[in-house]
Chains A and B, each alone.
Chain A
């Protein structure tokens, strides 16, 4: 059974850079028809897609965050990562990694990690 696990710091200072990693267990990250995504949810609010990456390193990101976000993949470790720069309090959220199913006529986030809370505070 496929499982995803986020890891990274729970506290980050304003203006600093956030690094999160998602490790994929139970299947290869180099699966055809799948991308791998980051999605976040501020406390008490809705969901926001951050970006998605294929194992070939093809990526596409949310235009509203694009200049601050870099997503990368390491197939040797079965991991993908998020780097987000210039953090502010508005970036405080639960960050989820998810498998992004992108197949013919089908596009959805079908397997999710448990999420990791990131708080931006001085």
Chain B
């Protein structure tokens, strides 16, 4: 099984900050990685697929990069609506796993 390491687990930041969340996989997965945002009591929302492809309607301050085993989600200028938990998710050989999550908190 592919192991995923998402970091940090918690991130404190202020409105306007640039933040980066990292996801590392134990085996190469090419660009088979997605990022999701989840707010309390709500279902996750797909932000980015194929490591860097922004979903329709997602603000351009969100961006994804990476391939192979190392991936990042960047929010260029935090807005109040962005404080949430973020998950990465990988696909490999008909198996899907999610990272442990990063809770983005207001500093």
Contact = CB atoms under 8 A, between A and B. Distances in A.
Interface of A: 46-49, 60, 62-63, 96, 98, 101, 105-110, 112-115
A46 B45 contact: no
A106 B98 contact: no
A108 B34 contact: yes
Nearest to A47: B98
B49 A106 contact: yes
Nearest to B100: A46
Contacts of A114: 42-43
Interface in B82-107: 87, 89, 91, 94-101
A49 B43 contact: no
A109 B32 CA distance: 12
A107 B49 CA distance: 7
A109 B96 CA distance: 10
A96 B99 contact: no
A48 B98 contact: yes
B17 interface: no
Interface string B9-47: 000000000000000000000011010100000111110
B89 A108 contact: yes
Contacts of A109: 34, 36, 44, 46, 89
A51 to B, nearest CB: 9
B38 to A, nearest CB: 8
A49 B49 contact: no
A114 B45 CA distance: 11
8 contacts: A46-B98, A47-B89, A49-B97, A49-B98, A63-B1, A96-B43, A109-B36, A110-B55
